[in-house]
A and B are shown apart, each in its own frame.
Chain A
């Protein structure tokens, strides 16, 4: 059990970190293009 859980745990930790970094990168880039771009559109409502 010990032999199995350690690599699995570390693998999950690695995947989580990468996924988290990916999510942060997507959010950051979304913010960047929103702030950098200047398209003109009609706001909702």
Chain B
């Protein structure tokens, strides 16, 4: 939800920017766009869709997550001259690095997980185990490699749907996406390619 909000905010900012300059939003020509849905597919199958997703061993889920991130890095590299894409790439690389160093999932501390899953049964949050069917693995700070790049930030309201833990990489991805759409309005930076 947080990252989609960044996309939406970017579109609104870009539209306002274009309107102020009496221009139209100019979507750039992105290269190799087919990589994105293709990269998303394994993640969609094993992590994303409740009811549809396939229950697979954690190793497969981890492989799906890592392969998705690698493929998206390739896409970002091909489009690196687009506004905001270097930030997107940096965020992706940061997430991928911490995921690779921690068993193929994004680490989250038990305390952070408990803040999110307030009503979870006692055995739901277990150190060293994947958190539900998601992208995270529960690891204490002392067992986490590059803890700073893990899901250290918390955002939340009373409703569980509006609570999230996120990483520096996620912030960079959100800012990069916002910048990309903002630049479509013609300011502050024109699309280079």
Which A residues have a C-beta under 8 Å from some C-beta of B? Answer: 18, 21-22, 24-26, 28-45
Contacts and interface: CB of A to CB of B under 8 A. Distances in A.
B1 A41 contact: yes
Interface residues of B, number: 56
Nearest to B65: A38
Interface of B: 1-4, 6-7, 11, 24-28, 30, 33, 36-37, 39-40, 43, 48, 50, 68-69, 72, 75, 88, 91-92, 95, 99, 106, 108, 112-113, 116-117, 131-132, 134-136, 151, 160-161, 163-167, 169-170, 173-174, 177, 180-181
Main secondary structure of the interface of A (DSSP, over half): helix
Main secondary structure of the interface of B (DSSP, over half): helix
A38 B50 CA distance: 17
Contacts of A33: 3-4, 6-7, 173-174, 177
16 contacts: A25-B27, A29-B7, A29-B180, A32-B36, A32-B72, A33-B3, A34-B48, A37-B166, A37-B173, A38-B95, A38-B106, A39-B170, A40-B112, A40-B116, A40-B166, A45-B50
